[in-house]
Amino acid sequence: MIDIKEIRENPQRFKQAAKNKNIEVDIDRLTAIDAELLSAKQQLQEIATEKNRIGKSIPKLAGDEKQNALAQLAKFKADESQFEEKVKQLQPEADSLMMLVAQPADDIVPIGKDDTENVELRREGQVRKFDFKPKDHVQLGVDLGIIDIERGVKLAGSRSYFLKGDGARLHWAVLQFAMDVMIARGYTPMSVPLLMRDEAMRGTGYYPGSEEQTYRMEKDEVNLAGTAEVPLTAFRMGEILEEKELPIKFAGMSTCFRREAGAAGKDTYGLYRIHQFDKVEQVVICKNSVEESNKYHEEILSNSEVVMRALELPYRIVAVCTGDLGRGQAKKYDIEAWMPSRNNYCETHSASKFYEFQARRMNLRYKDSATKKNLFCHTLNNTVIASPRVLIPILELYQNADGSITVPKVLQPYMGGLEQIAKS
RNA sequence: GGAGCAGUGGCUGAGCGGCUGAAAGCGACGGUCUUGAAAACCGUUAUACCCUUUGGGUAUCGGGGGUUCGAAUCCCUCCUGCUCCGCCA
A362: confidence class by pLDDT, cuts 50, 70, 90: confident
Residue A29, pLDDT score: 94
Active site residue A350: yes
In A259-314, beta strands by DSSP E: 276-286
> Of residues A229, A299, A389, A396, which has the active-site annotation?
A389
Residue A72 located in a structural domain: yes
pLDDT the model gives residue A258: 94
A339 and A367 belong to one structural domain = yes
CA distance A393 to A359: 35
ipTM of this complex prediction, to 2 decimal places? 0.81
pLDDT at A121 over 90: yes
Q: What's the mean pLDDT in A403-413?
A: 98
Percent of chain A clearing pLDDT 90 (strictly above): 71
Same domain, A82 and A121: no
H or E element that contains A238: none
Helix A63-98 to helix A27-57 angle (10° resolution) is 160
Q: What's the CA gap between A422 and A32, in Å, rounded?
A: 67
Three-class SS state of A153? helix
A138 and A92 in a common domain: no
The reply to whether A84 and A142 lie within a common domain is no
Is the CA virtual torsion A56, A62, A68, A71 positive or negative? positive
Q: Pick A43 or A412 by higher pLDDT.
A: A412
Last residue within a domain, chosen from A65, A98, A131? A98
The length of chain A in residues reads 424
CATH of the domain at A280: 3.30.930.10
Provide the 10 A C-beta neighbour count for residue A381. 27
Instruction: Identify the pLDDT of residue A55.
Output: 80
Which positions 51-90 on chain A have a beta carbon less than 7 angstroms from any atom of strand B? 51-56, 58-59, 70, 73-74, 77
Contact A210, A358 (CB under 8 A): no
Task: Give residue A76's pLDDT band: very low, low, confident or very high (50, 70, 90).
Answer: confident
In a domain, A110, yes or no: no
pLDDT computed for residue A50 by the predictor = 86
Catalytic site residue A210? no
- The residue from A72, A98, A124 where one domain ends is A98
A34 CA from B49 C1′ (Å): 13
Q: Are residues A128 and A242 in the same domain?
A: yes
Question: What confidence tens digit (pLDDT) does each residue in A171-180 have?
Answer: 999 999 999 9
Q: Note if A259 is an active site residue.
A: no
Give the end of a domain, one of A41, A67, A98: A98
Answer yes or no: do A93 and A149 share one domain.
Answer: no
Task: Tell me if residue A202 is catalytic.
Answer: no
Please indicate, yes or no, if residue A103 is contained in any of the structural domains: no
**CATH classification of the domain holding A84:** 1.10.287.40
Q: Does A291 reside within a domain?
A: yes
Whether A329 is covered by a domain: the verdict is yes
A48 Cβ within 7 A of any nucleic strand B atom:
yes
**Same-domain status, A83 and A128:** no
Strand B nucleotides, any atom under 7 Å from protein beta carbons: they are 10, 18, 47-51, 57-59, 69-70
What's the pLDDT at A295? 97
Host domain of residue A26:
4-98
Confidence of residue A206 (pLDDT cuts 50, 70, 90): very high
A249 located within any domain: yes
Q: What distance in Å separates the CA atoms of residue A383 and residue A304, rounded to the nearest whole number?
A: 7
The alpha-helical segments, DSSP class H, found in A58-165 are 63-98, 137-144, 149-156
Model confidence pLDDT, tens digit, residues A309-326: 999 999 999 999 999 999
The answer to whether A134 and A66 have CB atoms below 8 angstroms apart is: no
- A 238-297, residues with C-beta < 7 Å of strand B: 240
How many domains does chain A divide into? Answer: 2
* For residues A283-303, average pLDDT: 96
Residues A288 and A177 in one domain: yes
Q: Do residues A214 and A323 both lie within one domain? A: yes
> Domain check: are A309 and A387 in the same one?
yes
pLDDT for A370 beyond 90 = no
| Domain assignment of residue A106, yes or no | no
A29 part of the active site: no
Report the C-alpha gap between A172 and A418 in whole angstroms. 14
Decide: A383 and A349 in contact? Cβ < 8 Å.
yes
Same domain, A318 and A403: yes
Query: What are the DSSP E strand ranges found in A16-80?
Result: none
> What does the pLDDT average to over A350-358?
95
Query: Looking at the structure, do residues A200 and A317 belong to the same domain, yes or no?
Result: yes
Query: Lowest mean pLDDT: which of A57-61, A260-264, A415-419?
Result: A57-61
A190 touches strand B (CB under 7 A): no
The per-residue pLDDT for A333 is: 97
- Would residue A64 count as lying in a domain? yes
